[in-house]
Amino acid sequence: MGSVSYSYQNSPSHLKHVVPLDFNSVKTVPDSHEWVVEPHASGSLPLINLSDPNAKSLIRQACEKLGAFQVINHGVPMNLLKQVELETFRLFNLPTHRKLCALRSPDGIVGYGVPRIQCYFSKLLWSEGFSMMKAPVEHAAQLWPHQPDQQTTFCNIMEEGQKEMKASTERMMKLIVESLELGPEDVKWLKGETEALFALNSYPICPEPNKAMGLGPHTDTSLLTVVYQSSCSGLQFLGDGIGWIPVHPIPGTLVVNVGDLLSILTNGRFKSVLHRAVVNDTHHRVSVAYIYGPPSDVKISPLTKLTDDDHPPLYRPVVWKDYAYAKSKHHNNTLNFFKNTKEEDP
């Protein structure tokens, strides 16, 4: 057994949730990581061309029906996405002891560690993650202490990736607002300092993919999540009455899904869709998620223009941080937790 998996098993319980398994050291899926994986269905996501004159209404329909779509002509240069992917592989292919130098602190959100959503599940996940909120200068120095050029390259590409993903996500958010016949005055805070997390996900090759889960079924806490996945499939969305719909990688596309906060904002009109990432026994898969949320001080509640006597506000106002905290306790039931109760208190 590799030293990391050994120290993992013997580490204090809070660290068990931060240090990923040394995946290369195991030949079978350990009990701690064993899942029952429901098979996937057939089907595909709507593919929307952002330059299509009908893009707005296509996005609205996709967000109402499934809560996810694939997008082309999104504006993020393909060569930049390829560079981000290459740097992501560079990071996750480092030896485990080196990655652990950039370990996320137990209560932190940036750095290397188990997936952010590990705390939702009792079984461990077959994946590792690295998150950042801007250029990860300090972590890059810990990851490549003797390669200053590599540190600079990593930081520059990650910074540029975040800038371009931000621009594209803001463009899609604007289309979403307009698709609901709303204007900038209804969401003035979108002009402010929106917050985002840039999360790199790694799903190592798994000897028994039918017994392990990369990311368990979850909804995102964000307004929108925009994902770049390379040429390897694994992401699946749960369609009502359909089952797990696999996302077939189409070169140059991004995958977009509605998060819990956008579902609150649209008074439940847009679906925060359950999704998962499965693993395979031939390819090391990576993905890159731009997790886009509101400014930290903005209370998200159903937009007034989307509510009326027939559609009273379904949810209580909440800021992103408090929602994320509640989610660590209530998991996929958090939207229900923020539902307005029917009877008012006397």
Ligand X SMILES: O=C(O)CCC(=O)C(=O)O
Tell me the catalytic residues: 285
Q: Phi, psi (5° rounding) for residue 85? A: -65, -45
* Cβ distance to ligand X smaller for residue 263 or 287: 287
* CA angle, residues 45, 250, 205, in degrees to nearest 5: 100
Residues 18, 114, 175, 199: which binds ligand X (CB under 6 A)?
199
334 near ligand X, rule: CB under 6 A: no
Q: Is 235 in the site for ligand X (CB under 6 A)?
A: yes
CB atoms < 10 A from the CB of 154, how many? 23
Paired strand residues for 200: 130, 288
When binding is defined by CB under 6 A, the residue of 220, 262, 263, 323 that contacts ligand X is: 220
Site mask for ligand X (CB under 6 A), range 126-155, x = bound: ------------------------------
**Cα–Cα distance for residue pair 226/278, rounded to 1 Å:** 18
Residues 201-230 that bind Fe ion (CB under 5 A): 220
- Verify binding: residue 275, ligand X, rule CB under 6 A: yes
Min dist. Cβ of residue 90 to ligand X (A): 18
Binding status of residue 201 toward ligand X by CB under 6 A? yes
> Does the footprint of Fe ion cover residue 260 (CB under 5 A)?
no
Cα separation of 155 and 133, whole Å?
A: 11
Residue 112 is given by DSSP the state: E
Please state the closest distance from residue 287 (CB atom) to ligand X, in A.
3
Contact (CB, 8 A) for 297 and 307: no
Q: What H or E segment, with its residue span, contains residue 23?
A: none
**Closest to Fe ion by CB, 91 or 117:** 117
Q: Is 172 in the site for ligand X (CB under 6 A)?
A: no
Regarding 66 and contact with ligand X (CB under 6 A), the answer is no
Dist CA 264 CA 339 (whole Å): 9
CB of residue 213 to ligand X, shortest distance in Å: 12
> Can you read off the two tokens belonging to residue 219?
């909804």
Q: Are residues 30 and 147 in contact, defined by beta-carbon separation less than 8 angstroms?
A: no
CB of 219 to Fe ion, least distance (A): 7
How many residues touch ligand X (CB under 6 A)? 13
* Separation between Cα atoms, residue 58 and residue 181, nearest integer Å: 14
Positions in the binding site for ligand X (CB under 6 A): 199, 201, 215, 220, 225, 227, 229, 234-235, 275, 277, 287, 289
